[in-house]
Amino acid sequence: MATLTAMFFAAQMMNYPIVGGTTAHLLGGPILAITLGPYAGLISTTIILLIQALFFGDGGITTFGANVWNMGVIGVFIPYILCLFIMKTMKNRRGMLIGAFLGALIGDVLAAIFAGLELGLSILSFPYSVPIAVTAMATHHLFIGVGEGIITAMIISVLWKARPDLLQLPKVAPTWMGELPITSGTSEVHK
């Protein structure tokens, strides 16, 4: 948990260019969710956001709760739920990769939609309406989500081959969600 959290803090310093002349960085929520479970992923993301806000002014103090909701809850739980859903029907490497890609993509876009919603509702400090803010955020983060999805699937693919044990760590998840099916059998991992 500590190693992955530190790695994703460092990874968030690596911005890469996307369409429109702006940049994006890996959030890491999907990988944290898939390897550690959504509760542990939420705690890891919250620690990263807290340090960034307190020491670097990145994200902000007054927006901390919103950021935890967007990136910690939505950006972690949605990828886990989607990956879980897909893995229940495709219990193999392909299912895991599709789940990781779609989970990361949809998780990122949903987190951005919530951020747009929050910005649009901040009528005292933000001059544009909810539809404008949501559209702008969702459009930009569609490209970021594709990037996050590709990188997430690549990392999962490497872990599947090189360190399958990391995909089989006990998941800290709500009981109704349960474990990703990958943890139930090592033979599946090596296929």
Partner 1 sequence: MNGSKKLLIAGIIISAFFVVIGCVWLSLSAETLDEVAEHFGASESPVWAPPIPDYEIPGLEENLAANIFVGILFTLLILGVTFVAGKALKTGK
Binding site residues, partner 1, CB under 8 A:
1-7, 9-18, 20-24, 40, 43-44, 47-48, 51, 53-58, 60-62, 115, 119, 125-128, 132-133, 136-137, 140-141, 144, 163, 165-166, 172
Our measurement of the distance from residue 123's CA atom to the centroid of its chain's CA atoms, rounded to an integer in Å, reads 28
Kindly tell me which of 88 and 163 has the beta carbon lying closer to partner 1: 163
Sequence-distant (≥ 6) Cβ neighbours of residue 129 within 8 angstroms: 120
The distance of closest approach from Cβ of residue 21 to partner 1 in the complex, given in angstroms and rounded to an integer, is 8
The distance of closest approach from Cβ of residue 98 to partner 1 in the complex, given in angstroms and rounded to an integer, is 25
Kindly tell me which of 95 and 120 has the beta carbon lying closer to partner 1: 120
Our measurement of the distance from residue 9's CA atom to the centroid of its chain's CA atoms, rounded to an integer in Å, reads 13
The distance of closest approach from Cβ of residue 129 to partner 1 in the complex, given in angstroms and rounded to an integer, is 10
CB atoms inside a 10 Å sphere around CB 144: 24
The distance of closest approach from Cβ of residue 6 to partner 1 in the complex, given in angstroms and rounded to an integer, is 4
The distance of closest approach from Cβ of residue 134 to partner 1 in the complex, given in angstroms and rounded to an integer, is 11
Distance between CA atoms of 188 and 172, rounded to whole angstroms?
21
Kindly tell me which of 11 and 177 has the beta carbon lying closer to partner 1: 11
End-to-end CA distance of the chain: 26
Kindly tell me which of 12 and 183 has the beta carbon lying closer to partner 1: 12
Cβ 24 vs Cβ 143: under 8 Å: yes
3-state SS assignment for residue 173: coil
Kindly tell me which of 8 and 87 has the beta carbon lying closer to partner 1: 8
3-state SS assignment for residue 78: helix
